[in-house]
Amino acid sequence: MKTIGLIGGMSWESSAKYYQLINQEVKKQLGGLHSAKCILYSVNFEEIQRYQAQGDWEKAGHVLGDVAQSLEKAGADFIIICTNTMHKVIKLVEEKISIPILHIADATAHQIVKSDIRTIGLLGTSYTMEQDFYKSRIESNGIKVLVPNIEDREVINKVIFEELCLGEILQSSREYYKKVIQRLIEDGAEGIILGCTEIGLLVKPEDSEVPLFDTTVIHALESVKKALE
């Protein structure tokens, strides 16, 4: 079994879910008392979020690069970054290590293609929905990506940072997300990417009439698959 290096804390709410999912899947695959060989380095999200807001992605990338370096030295065989948004700086992180990083968008795109879906709606932080670092990775697989309108994007982003990252799960926000999902479906979306690792804490499969692709679940299970190869 390979050792998974997790860069977490962005936010710790979803990082805890990663840890749970990974260990549950290892137990499911191997049985008995088996659990995952993994090393979790949880960063201070306040610092990372400040760099995001300032647009200082280089500094944020160097922080995560140093973390990845520590995980490699500690014995990790590969890295997963437990957040969608910070894959924006993956090249800066890769420059500091010799082990691979399992990209969350690649794992997600693979599942979308397997489902024979060609038009997908994307929910996430404003950075993820509006910038190309994530969407282009999905689109390179022949998938058309739809994002909500600007008003919806602002609300979605606010819910992520002001509620979900703080562990607040509000029914009013769930209802709003459901309306956004419905609007994306009306625009042609055949499925929805929950492209922020916290959104799966709020939105469930029963909240959508089309398939949901929860990136936290997909990324965690794909990391186990790689660890057990």
- Those residues whose C-beta lies under 8 Å from the C-beta of residue 190, and which sit 6 or more positions away, are 117, 118, 119, 120, 210, 211
For residues 174-183, one letter each, b for 16 or more C-beta atoms within 10 angstroms of the residue's C-beta and e for the rest, the string is eebbbebbee
The answer to whether the beta carbons of residues 41 and 75 sit under 8 Å apart is no
- Spatial distance between the Cα atoms of 81 and 88, rounded to a whole number of angstroms: 11
Which of the residues are catalytic? 83, 196
Whose CA is closest to 104, among 79, 131, 81, 129? 81
> Tokens 């306040």 sit at which residue?
46
Assess contact for 13 and 86: CB atoms under 8 A: no
Q: Is residue 188 left, alpha or beta, with left meaning phi > 0 and alpha meaning psi from -120 to 50?
A: left
3-state secondary structure of 146: strand
Position 196, amino acid = C
Quote the distance between the C-alpha of residue 138 and its chain's center: 13
